[in-house]
């Protein structure tokens, strides 16, 4: 492949493995999608900044639905919020948040 073709392929983004940025107003990951679903239903303030802890809002939503109040986005909670649990990304994987030695943004020790 000529040098020109390689440069053109890079400039066109061919072979990129990351997803393109989300369109404006569209959540870019599952955590943002969850936050938006909670906002849409009045369980999270519209002006809550990115990174706001969602556990309390999730518990309030779960209480309103009569389901177990865990504060975690489990399958039943996600489904009732209109989110397909089979499509979530690692931003909602609670199993990786509380592993000894692991770190998480916003977690104090």
Q: Assess if residue 46 is contained within a domain.
A: yes
Q: Is the pTM of this model over 0.75?
A: no
Q: Assess if residue 10 is contained within a domain.
A: no
pLDDT of residue 79: 95
Q: Assess if residue 55 is contained within a domain.
A: yes
- Find the CATH number of the domain harbouring 62: 1.10.101
Q: Assess if residue 49 is contained within a domain.
A: yes
DSSP assignment string, 44-109: S-TTPPTT---HHHHHHHHHHHTS---SS--HHHHHHTT--GGG--GGG-GGGTS-TT---TT---
pLDDT of residue 107: 42
For the segment 75-92, the average pLDDT, to the nearest whole number, is 90
Number of domains in the chain: 1
Instruction: Show the domain range for 44.
Output: 26-86
pLDDT of residue 45: 95
9-50 pLDDT tens trace: 444 444 433 344 444 555 568 899 999 999 999 999 999 998
Q: Assess if residue 51 is contained within a domain.
A: yes
d(CA 62, CA 76): 9
87-108 pLDDT tens trace: 888 887 756 554 444 444 444 4
For the segment 73-82, the average pLDDT, to the nearest whole number, is 94
For residue 2, pLDDT beyond 60: no
Cβ contacts of 23 within 8 Å, gap of 6 or more: none
Q: Assess if residue 80 is contained within a domain.
A: yes
Q: Assess if residue 104 is contained within a domain.
A: no
Q: Assess if residue 9 is contained within a domain.
A: no
């Amino acid at each position: 492949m000529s040098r020109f073709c390689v440069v053109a392929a890079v400039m066109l983004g061919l072979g990129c493995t990351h997803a393109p940025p989300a369109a404006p107003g569209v959540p870019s990951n599952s955590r943002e999608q969850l936050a938006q679903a909670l906002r849409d239903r009045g369980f999270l303030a519209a002006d809550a900044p990115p990174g706001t802890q969602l556990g309390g809002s999730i518990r309030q939503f779960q209480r309103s639905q009569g389901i177990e109040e865990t504060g975690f986005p489990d399958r039943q909670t996600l489904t009732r919020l209109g989110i397909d649990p089979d499509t979530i990304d690692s931003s909602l994987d609670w199993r990786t948040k509380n592993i000894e030695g692991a770190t998480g943004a916003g977690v104090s020790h």
